[in-house]
Chain A
Amino acid sequence: MRRIHLNNIEIVKKINRDFLKSEDYFQSLLEEGFRVNLLTTNEVESIQTDCLLLLARQTEKYNGSESSSIKIEAASQLLSSILFTLGVYLKTYENPDLAIEDIKKEGIFNIYTKGLKQIDKLKITSKLLHKSILRKLVKTDNVFYKSTIEDGINGFFKLYYPEFGAHEIHITADYPVHQKMEPLKGIEFINKYLEWIYYENLFCSFFSSEDIHNLLSGYDKNYSDIPFNIYERVLLSALGCELVGKDYRHLEIDDSSLEKLFTIFNKKSKIQIQDILKSGLEGLKVDLNLNESLIKYLNNSLNQLAVLIENSIINNTLDRVFVVPRYYDNSNKLIVSFGIKMEDEKYRKIIDEIRQCRHFSDKKNIIKLEIKSLGDLEDVLIDADLTEDEILRILDELNLGEVAALAKRNSITSIDYEPSSRSGNNILAEALYTYKAILSTQELEKFTKLIEVIVIG
């Protein structure tokens, strides 16, 4: 039992919110409610029955009154969606005891409706956050960064349908955020992911894209093909410069800085390293005039950085943590734009239409008629349940440059590229790999050259 002091009024909470699971909130709330006697056996049974009645209603909607039965997998998905939606609303109660009271008072059906409204709010907030992130994207060649934050999240908003799949994420967030995320589902996951990305981008925006590019090139020449967190590299470098008294704005750690950093961190415990990093952050805070929420995010990152540094001192790999930038020639680049993507509603209709086509010629005609940008084409090739053979036939209709741009975005870049090194189960990546494999030597040479010079604009 916990006591909370609130302006001299003492509120006694029976349910400890720390015991509730963030991903299965509703179920754990009922469990805890039952454990602490806020719910009786009869009340729990009545809630379960209401949930199943709600499932019956949702199944009817899902089947469009055409079918009275449903596959168990589909019903199970609908039930997960319902339970998630209930949890989203009930999480809005700071005090879980009050959430239990509300279930009893309002009933499951009303809570579900409120849950859907809450999801809509979260969706709108996330879309706004996403828009503001897109305005301040780090200009980098890293394919995972752009493909996740721009295309992946756009894909999520296109496919997300809270009525029947509120708990679904649809995409794989290949680009990792720096801090470990609590286990979340659906729009809650996307919202939290975007929030983290927002802070990370905000910090990176204090540095020029060229300096970041040079820093990351020092991390790995082919950094564009590696899924790693950019913010972590930038923050480490900035803190390193600050600690050795160099100008951090250009993220220019050099060999002498590395020696100094080794002296600073050598034989220090994790806590001591964290304190040193904190002092470095103080300098950045004042100089960059950082806002409170960003400072909080940066402070929360220090623990993880301290672990990295502690291990690198033991393994004598400090130069892999504090990276010395490398400078490569950036000339002769070909900028390819993936264009403006269509409205989500229209896109969904086109995907449904293509999926219903039996013949490839019909699918191709729809794509030719409706798809106007390379960005939309890429999405369609991934989302429309096309076979690898069908994708290959569509790729044949494009010019080599367009396919090279698609390959660049899907990590089919290096010559010694192996299928096992690809990310996720991307059918487009499979097809692009096959496409590349069947090119003639002359075409392959041209294709590889194109991939090298292409920059996705």
Chain B
Amino acid sequence: MNFELSLLNSNLLLKQAVSEVLSCNDITEKYNLLLTNTQAAALVETRVTALKDNGRMEFGAGVIEKIILAFCDSPYISMLNYEETIHELLEIFYYYKNETNDLMSDDELIKFMKISYDSICQGSLELLSGRELNNLARTLRYAYKEKFTEDKTDLDEEDSLE
């Protein structure tokens, strides 16, 4: 008897997730950010792949909605890079959900990503993923708190020199 968890990726559940993503347009519209049906479906597809790649599973619409609503007011996101950024943010989110050993809740991790993206990373997803989240994960896992602070201070100094 098949009780495989892959049953969760049924068409019905995916369709439900797409419609939940599209409902975000009502809020993001005021920032001039809108997703088409195809784009929303692509985001859901990215979520499925990211979950699979990171050995995770999710019920309902998951975090796409939360990420969209958190990042829609970012000064570094416009209609030009909106969809692409959300795709990448999704992949980054699930990767660091594992790397932080689930020690942070979804909301905490998204909040950290948004603050870092808008401030120290100045809209760079590479810096967000490769530096800020990486340091955060190490801090949480190995208690490298002091080193993390030192690195951050150095970077702050570099930023101020610029």
- Residues 45-65 of A at the B interface (beta carbon under 8 Å): 48-49, 51-52, 55-56, 59-60
| A325-374 residues at the B interface, CB under 8 angstroms | 358-359
Min CB distance, A385 to chain B, in Å? 13
CB neighbours (8 Å) of A34 from chain B are 1
Q: Considering only CB atoms and an 8 Å cut-off, how many residues of chain A contact the other chain?
A: 28
Which residues of chain A have C-beta atoms less than 8 A from B97's C-beta? 67, 69
B161 is an interface residue with CB less than 8 A from chain A? no
Q: Are B102 and A71 in contact, with the CB atoms below 8 A? A: yes
| In the bound complex, CA of A31 to CA of B60 (Å) | 29
Contact pattern, A 75-113, Cβ under 8 Å of B = 1, otherwise 0 = 110010001000000000000000000000000000000
CB distance from A114 to the nearest CB of B (A): 20
Contact A79 B94 (CB under 8 A): no
Check if B55 sits within 8 Å of A73, measured CB to CB.
Answer: yes
Among the listed A27, A31, A69, A70, which residue makes an inter-chain contact with B63, where contact means beta carbons less than 8 Å apart? A69
Q: How far is the CB of A43 from chain B (nearest CB, A)?
A: 12
Q: Which residue of A lies closest to B106 (CB)?
A: A67
Given A52-B7, A67-B105, A67-B106: A72 and B56 interface contact (C-beta under 8 Å): yes
Which residues of chain B in 32-61 are interfacial with respect to chain A, using CB atoms and an 8 Å cutoff? 51, 55-60
Q: Are B98 and A68 closer than 8 Å at their CB atoms?
A: no
- B143: which of A55, A70, A358 is its contact (CB, 8 Å)? A358
**Chain B, interface residues (CB within 8 Å), range:** 20 to 34
- Which interface residue of A34, A48, A60 has the most chain B CB atoms within 10 A? A48
Q: Is A30 an interface residue (CB 8 A)?
A: yes
Partner of B57, one of A27, A31, A70: A70
Q: How far is the CA of A31 from the CA of B3 in the complex (A)?
A: 12
- Mask for B95-108, Cβ within 8 A of A = 1, else 0? 00110001001110
Residue from A52, A66, A69, A83 in contact with B51 in the complex, judged by beta carbons closer than 8 Å = A69
Contact indicator B56/A48 (Cβ below 8 Å): no
Assess whether A76 is in contact with B51, with CB atoms less than 8 Å apart. no
* Nearest CB in chain B to that of A67: its residue: B106
Asked if B80 is an interface residue, CB under 8 A from chain A, the answer is: no
| A290 contacts partner chain B, Cβ-Cβ < 8 Å | no
Would you give the shortest CB distance from B20 to chain A, in whole angstroms?
12
Chain A residues contacting B5 (CB-CB under 8 Å) are 52, 55, 72, 75-76, 79
| A68 proximity list for chain B (CB < 8 A) | 58-60, 62-63, 106
A49, closest chain B residue (CB)? B7
- Tell whether, in the assembled complex, residue B63 and residue A52 are in contact, meaning their CB atoms are under 8 Å apart: no
Q: Using an 8 Å CB-CB cutoff, how does the interface string of B53-91 with A read, 1 for contact, 0 for none?
A: 001111110110000000000000000000000000000
For B50, the closest partner residue in chain A by CB is A69
Q: How far is the CB of B133 from chain A (nearest CB, A)?
A: 16
Asked whether B2 is an interface residue with its Cβ less than 8 Å from the other chain, the reply is: yes
Are A72 and B143 in contact, CB atoms less than 8 angstroms apart? no
Instruction: Report whether A75 and B2 are in contact in the complex, using a CB–CB cutoff of 8 Å.
Output: no
Q: Are B57 and A66 in contact (CB under 8 A)?
A: no
User: Hey, which chain B residues are within 8 Å of A75, CB to CB?
Assistant: 5, 57
**Contact partner, B98, options A30, A48, A71, A79, Cβ 8 Å:** A71
* Residue B8 lies at the interface, judged by CB distance under 8 Å to chain A: yes
Nearest chain B CB to A386 CB, angstrom units: 16
Contact A52 B56 (CB under 8 A): no
A295 at the interface (CB under 8 A from B): no
A44 at the interface (CB under 8 A from B): yes
Q: Report chain A residues within 8 Å CB of B106.
A: 66-69
Residue of B nearest to A60 (CB): B59
Beyond the given A66-B105, A67-B106, please list 4 additional residue pairs across the A-B interface where CB-CB is below 8 A: A34-B1, A66-B106, A67-B105, A69-B51
Which B residues form the contact surface with A (CB < 8 A)?
A: 1-3, 5, 7-8, 51, 55-60, 62-63, 94, 97-98, 102, 105-107, 143
Closest 8 CB pairs of A and B: A66-B105, A69-B58, A56-B59, A358-B143, A30-B1, A27-B1, A69-B56, A72-B55
Q: List residues of A whose CB falls within 8 A of some B CB.
A: 27-28, 30-31, 34, 44, 48-49, 51-52, 55-56, 59-60, 66-73, 75-76, 79, 83, 358-359
